Amino acid sequence: MTPTAFLGLCDMLVREGGLRPTLCASVEEQVAKTLYLLGHNVSHRELAFFFRRSRETIFRHFHNVLQAIVELEDKFLIQPDSSHIPSEIFNTNRFYPYFKDCVGAIDGTHIRVKVSSVDAPRYRGRKEYPTQNVLAACTFDLKSTYVLPGWEGTTSDSRIMKNALTRAVPLTIPEGKYYLVDAGFMLRSGLITPYRGERYHLKEYSRNPPRNARELFNLRHASLRNAIERAFGIVKKRFPIIGSSTEPHYGLETQKEIIFACFILHNYLMGVDPNDAILAQVDNELEHEPHEENHHRAENNEETHEGEIIRDAIAADMWDTYVE
């Protein structure tokens, strides 16, 4: 983080997050300690040694800053409306006008969690260690618009999505718009999945061009949906406290606050201090990462049928132009 971005963050945390200096520590020191902890995944003991403060002081300052960052949620985690077409779609012939009603991409990511041995089996899903499955949405400039942490690692993306849509503070999908999701989610008018039984990972098309409308749709769907994978990669690179495979130092509730704080800071930095080197690392890793097959059980109902109509229309229109 550049000095300018750091000082801008401190000023914002005072003005809008309610952060205040203490008798022995300025706002800048408290923020610096918190960012060091988030960015290096160190313990309070290590941080106390580095900053020459007591562990109790480190603990108090960390939680003060964490609360102040979370207070910025409404400023930085803003769900999209229906008033505009993302420039990443509008300015690209491969995507416009076919995906003109798409507002972003959604996926889940697994983040290691510290829970009791009794609860551990419910959190031990894809990994050999306990994780929480964090649902997030992002726009195509890689900024997050919605984050829902806390679900057990064994919980399916589809089940978390159903909960997200009905919560007191829900994931909202503007009328007539939709998100792109992978095959682990349900197909709906507001959630467009790739076609099942067809190639749908980018690497599968690297040497083999699409042969029909469904494959072309899946290729371009994957190209756009890749934004959420890139966003996850950047957040975890910037903040090893949620990207590390080592057991966290904090319990579940604090870990949820840390996740919110990291995504808020990510959005702030994408606006004032984007890091091209980190993005290049993430893109390189995604290119060589083996993909996981993740399929949601097919449903046959009216909502699914509406999604199929939207998807088929896009695929047909896109294929006609492609063939020409």
- pLDDT of 294 above 70: no
DSSP reduced 3-state for 10: helix
Q: Report DSSP state, residue 221.
A: H
Band of residue 31 on the pLDDT scale cut at 50, 70, 90: very high
What is the DSSP annotation of 46-87? HHHHHHT--HHHHHHHHHHHHHHHHTTHHHH-----SS---H
- pLDDT of 300 above 70: no
The candidate with the shortest Cα–Cα distance to 239, out of 262, 270, 255, 257, is 262
From CA 175, how far away is CA 198, in angstroms rounded? 29
- Cα separations in angstroms, 200 against 92, 210, 218, 224: 20, 10, 5, 12
pLDDT, tens digit (0-9, with 9 covering 90-100), for 35-75: 999 999 988 888 888 888 888 999 999 999 999 999 999 99
CB-based contact 203:127 (threshold 8 Å): no
Instruction: Kindly state the percentage of the chain with pLDDT values over 70.
Output: 94
What is the DSSP annotation of 256-272? HHHHHHHHHHHHHHHHH
pTM of the model: 0.92
Q: Report DSSP state, residue 108.
A: E
**In this structure, what token pair is assigned to residue 4?**
């300018």
pLDDT, tens digit (0-9, with 9 covering 90-100), for 180-223: 999 999 999 999 999 988 876 666 666 778 889 999 999 999 99
pLDDT at 127: 76
Domain boundaries, the chain: 3-71, 80-323
